[in-house]
């Protein structure tokens, strides 16, 4: 089945999604790789200057360019999700993440955490960075850029019809990965 959903996404919609479904998302997403996961887990939740639970979590280290003080996305495909396996169960729990966008799949710890938190993992085609950038309407903000550098910083994007995303791990414990 193919779905077009707005973010934040409600619990009932998450529940009805199955592996193999195709999803297009509109709304806000934030990027987080290894360093951002590590840092956000160490911080007090109240000190995080945005609300992660309302957004999609995008495993991505984008290629950005600053023109006249404004950031533009050049290329922004997903990064390898399995690197975040060591953090993701705690991250989902702490920030109430409902939807992950990544590539390559995740392990059993995340699979259980998705089930427990009624969340899903979706796959965007790895390497399709130019295509993904086309669906990003606006760069809302960037956090910790100085400290983490361009790939590892947290970027908040507003996206429109971001996809095709394949529901690769659903909220019932099913996974497309062998």
Closest C-alpha among 44, 62, 114, 63 to residue 85: 114
Q: How far is the CB of 178 from other proteins (least distance, A)?
A: 7
For 126, counting Cβ atoms within 10 Å of its Cβ (0-12 exposed, 13-18 middle, 19+ buried), the class is: middle
Instruction: Work out whether 134 is an interface residue with other proteins (CB under 8 A).
Output: yes
4 among known catalytic residues: no
Q: Other CB atoms closer than 10 Å to residue 127's CB: what's the count?
A: 12
Closest C-alpha among 14, 143, 32 to residue 78: 32
Interface segment toward other proteins; rule CB under 8 A; list 42-50, 91-99, 110-118, 131-139: 131-139
Q: 44: cis peptide before it, omega within 30°?
A: no
Instruction: Work out whether 80 is an interface residue with other proteins (CB under 8 A).
Output: yes
Interface segment toward other proteins; rule CB under 8 A; list 37-45, 70-78, 88-96, 154-162: 70-78
Of 37, 38, 59, 72, catalytic: 37
Q: Which two tokens stand for residue 161?
A: 């019809």
48 vs 150, which CB is nearer to other proteins? 150
Q: Show which residues are catalytic.
A: 37
Which residues make up the interface to other proteins (CB under 8 A)?
Answer: 20, 22, 60-63, 65, 74-77, 79-80, 82, 103-105, 123, 125-131, 133-134, 149-151, 164, 166, 168, 176-178
């Amino acid at each position: 089945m193919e779905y077009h959903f707005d973010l934040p996404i409600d619990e009932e919609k998450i529940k009805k999604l199955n592996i193999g479904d195709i999803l297009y998302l509109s709304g806000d997403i934030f990027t987080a790789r290894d360093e951002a996961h590590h840092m956000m887990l160490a911080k007090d939740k109240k000190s995080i200057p945005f609300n992660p639970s309302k957004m999609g979590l995008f495993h991505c280290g984008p290629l950005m360019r600053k023109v006249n003080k404004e950031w533009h996305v050049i290329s922004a495909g997903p990064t390898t999700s399995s690197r975040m396996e060591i953090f993701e169960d705690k991250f989902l729990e702490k920030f109430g993440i409902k939807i992950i966008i990544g590539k390559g799949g995740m392990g059993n710890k995340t699979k259980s955490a998705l089930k427990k938190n009624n969340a899903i993992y979706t796959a965007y085609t790895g390497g399709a960075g130019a295509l993904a950038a086309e669906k990003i309407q606006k760069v809302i903000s960037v956090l910790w850029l100085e400290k983490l550098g361009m790939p590892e910083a947290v970027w908040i994007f507003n996206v429109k019809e971001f996809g095709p995303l394949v529901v690769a791990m659903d909220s019932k414990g099913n996974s497309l990965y062998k």
